[in-house]
Structure 1
Amino acid sequence: MPHTIREIATALGAKAEGALDLAVTAASEPQAAGPDDLALAMDPKYADGIAKGQARAALLWPGADWQAMGLQAAIFAPRGRLAMAGLTRLLDAGPDIAPGVHPMAIVDPSARIGAGAAIGPFVVIGRDVVIGANARIASHVSIAEGARIGEDALILQGARICARVTIGNRFICQPGAVIGSDGFSFVTPEKSGVEEIRETLGTRDAITAQSWTRIHSLGAVTIGDDVEIGANVCIDRGTIRDTRIGSGTKLDNLVHIGHNVQIGRDCLLCGQVGIAGSSRIGDRVVMGGQCGVNDNIFVGDDVICGGATKIFTNAPAGRVLLGYPAVKMETHVEMQKALRRLPRLAARVAEIEKALPRPPSED
């Protein structure tokens, strides 16, 4: 669907110049842009690409000389990535899910489906499920008994919403996610090797055979408003209390949230982050890819963790962490500098040892 430069600028709250009635149908990198594309060059380093493409209009940085670039119109974005958020929202048509309930969907008679919902083929909706108005549910999704989903939800192909899960408004769930699976919780009749190691920090007595007894998960998962869940995310339900995800939190693909975990508001957890059971994560916490959090610890508000950071102890609010085990970022940088110096230090020690007199030999 075409949009004029004027419409796009208005949607972004941005300034525009030139032929404001010029229409574009898509966004493109500058060098690949066709005459009906809006070229994206929000930084001067991308300006050379304009001449290599065929764009007539572009999204540019403030003060750019768009006429010298041969363009007919330009939109100016003081903050490029924020403009990208608005532009992509405007241009994204979303998944093709027909309104109403598809005849090949199975909906339990006790389920309540809100007005304006669109439910695709092979969807299974269980007993006493409540789905809010304008929800869009793509094919092969299953929603188990007692689940509650708010308004304007978008749940994509193959997602699994398990029993008694409660989800707020404007929820987005990518394909293959599983929300509300059993927690990974087992116990041994006798003290296990894991318990022994935790107490002794490495020392073991006699090693004996042990078997695992399952602890069932009686809780569920509660998710706030405006939460987004990536592809193949797994969120375990709580043992007794619910696992909780705060409003505004975003989980990337392949994130795993263990049983009983409590995550605050507006957190950002990147790909392959793992949060072990019963940990508490504060508000506005950011974790780079492959971060890990030990069980039963607390990560304070506004903590930022670089990629692959492993947190084994409580993290104070506002701390910036990096490394394995996690330390302050500035400490980790100094440690890495020292590590790189080790070969030279070892060589110097060897030279000093050569210069020292040797101890007398013993007969």
Structure 2
Amino acid sequence: MAHTIRDIAQALGAEAEGDLDLTVLRASEPAAAGPQDLALAMDPRYGDGIAKGQAQVAMLWPGADWRALGLKAAIFAPRGRLAMAGLSVMLDPCPAIAPGVHPMALVDASAQIGAGAAIGPFVVIGAGAVIGARARIASHVSVAEGAVIGDDALILQGARIGARVRIGHRFICQPGAVVGADGFSFVTPEKSGVEEIRASLGKRDDIRAQSWTRIHSLGAVTIGDDVELGANVAIDRGTIRDTVIGSGTKLDNLVHIGHNVQVGRDCLLCGQVGIAGSARIGDRVVLGGQCGVNDNIFVGDDVIAGGATKIFTNAPAGRVLLGYPAVKMETHIEMQKALRRLPRMAGRMAALEKAISLLPDVD
């Protein structure tokens, strides 16, 4: 769909100059842009790329000389990535899911489908499930019995929503995500080796055979409004109480949330984050890729942890963490500096030892 520069600028609340009746079909990197593309160069570093493409219009940084760049019009974005967010909404064609219930979908007679919903082929919706108004569910999705999904949801191919899961409005779920699988809960009839090690911090008096007894998951999962799940996210149901994901929280691909975990509002959990059972995550927490959080600990509000950080103990609110195990960022930086100095220090130590060994004996 074509959009005029005027319409885009108004939608973004941005200033624009030049021929505002020009239309664009899509966004593009500057060097690859064609005549009907909007070149994205919101930083001066990317301005040189415009001359390599064929764009007539571009989204530029404030104060850019668009005429000198050979353009016919420009939109000015004081905050580039925020402008990108609004632009992406306008230009996203959205998944093609036909309105109504596809004849090859299987919907239980007791399920409730909201007005304006679109249910794709090979979707299975179980007994007593509730699907909100204007929800869009792509092919091969399953929604188990008793699940409730709010209005304006978008659930893409192959996602699995488990029994009794409750999800708020404007939910977005990428392909392959699983919400409401059983938690990983097992116990041994006798005291296990893991329990012994936790108590003794590594000492084991006796190693013996042991077998595992399954603890079933009787809880479910509760998800707030405006939550997004990436591809192949896995959220386990709680053992007794529900696992909880707060409103506004976003989970990247391959994030795993263990049983009984509570995640607060507006958190950002990047790719391959793993949170072990019964951990509590505060509001607005950001965990970089491959972060790990130990079971039964608390991560306070506004904590930011860099990629691959491993959090083994409670983290105070507002703390910035790095490393394995997690320490304050400034401490981690000093530790890394010290590590880089170790070879030089070892060389000096060896030289001192040699010099001392050559000193004459003193009676």
TM-score by length of 2: 0.99
1:93 Cα shift? Answer: 1.2
1:58 aligned counterpart, secondary structure: strand
Match of 2:229 in 1: 229
Tell me, in whole angstroms, the C-alpha distance in 1 between the residues paired with 2:328 and 2:150: 40
Tell me, in whole angstroms, the C-alpha distance in 2 between the residues paired with 1:306 and 1:177: 24
1:356 aligned counterpart, secondary structure: helix
- Give deviations 1:126-167, integer Å, cap 9, x for gaps: 000000000000000000000000000000000000000000
Match of 2:306 in 1: 306
Match of 1:245 in 2: 245
Tell me, in whole angstroms, the C-alpha distance in 2 between the residues paired with 1:359 and 1:276: 58
**2:208 partner letter:** T
**1:37 partner letter:** D
- Give deviations 1:95-120, integer Å, cap 9, x for gaps: 00000000000000000000000000
Match of 1:90 in 2: 90
Tell me, in whole angstroms, the C-alpha distance in 1 between the residues paired with 2:91 and 2:53: 20
Answering whether residue 294 of structure 2 is matched by residue 288 of structure 1, we say: no
Tell me, in whole angstroms, the C-alpha distance in 1 between the residues paired with 2:234 and 2:246: 16
Tell me, in whole angstroms, the C-alpha distance in 2 between the residues paired with 1:209 and 1:187: 14
1:360 Cα shift? Answer: 10
1:235 aligned counterpart, secondary structure: strand
2:357 aligned counterpart, secondary structure: coil
Tell me, in whole angstroms, the C-alpha distance in 2 between the residues paired with 1:358 and 1:172: 73
Tell me, in whole angstroms, the C-alpha distance in 1 between the residues paired with 2:339 and 2:252: 32
Match of 1:213 in 2: 213
TM-score by length of 1: 0.99
**1:151 partner letter:** D
Q: Deviation above 3 Å: which 4+ runs of structure 1?
A: 357-361
- Give deviations 1:6-30, integer Å, cap 9, x for gaps: 0000111000000001000000000
Tell me, in whole angstroms, the C-alpha distance in 1 between the residues paired with 2:295 and 2:135: 35
1:55-70 matches, within 5 Å, as 55-70=55-70
Tell me, in whole angstroms, the C-alpha distance in 1 between the residues paired with 2:206 and 2:131: 55
Tell me, in whole angstroms, the C-alpha distance in 2 between the residues paired with 1:293 and 1:115: 41
Tell me, in whole angstroms, the C-alpha distance in 2 between the residues paired with 1:163 and 1:227: 19
Tell me, in whole angstroms, the C-alpha distance in 1 between the residues paired with 2:225 and 2:358: 73
Match of 1:192 in 2: 192
1:176-187 matches, within 5 Å, as 176-187=176-187
Match of 1:42 in 2: 42
Tell me, in whole angstroms, the C-alpha distance in 2 between the residues paired with 1:360 and 1:140: 84
Tell me, in whole angstroms, the C-alpha distance in 2 between the residues paired with 1:32 and 1:220: 48
Answering whether residue 19 of structure 2 is matched by residue 15 of structure 1, we say: no
Tell me, in whole angstroms, the C-alpha distance in 2 between the residues paired with 1:205 and 1:154: 54
Tell me, in whole angstroms, the C-alpha distance in 2 between the residues paired with 1:70 and 1:315: 53
1:139-150 matches, within 5 Å, as 139-150=139-150
1:254-333 matches, within 5 Å, as 254-333=254-333
Gap runs ≥5 in structure 1: none
**2:128 partner letter:** D
Tell me, in whole angstroms, the C-alpha distance in 2 between the residues paired with 1:139 and 1:219: 27
1:63 aligned counterpart, secondary structure: coil
1:47 aligned counterpart, secondary structure: helix
1:190 Cα shift? Answer: 0.4
Tell me, in whole angstroms, the C-alpha distance in 1 between the residues paired with 2:292 and 2:10: 42
2:63 aligned counterpart, secondary structure: coil
1:357 Cα shift? Answer: 3.3
1:170-181 matches, within 5 Å, as 170-181=170-181
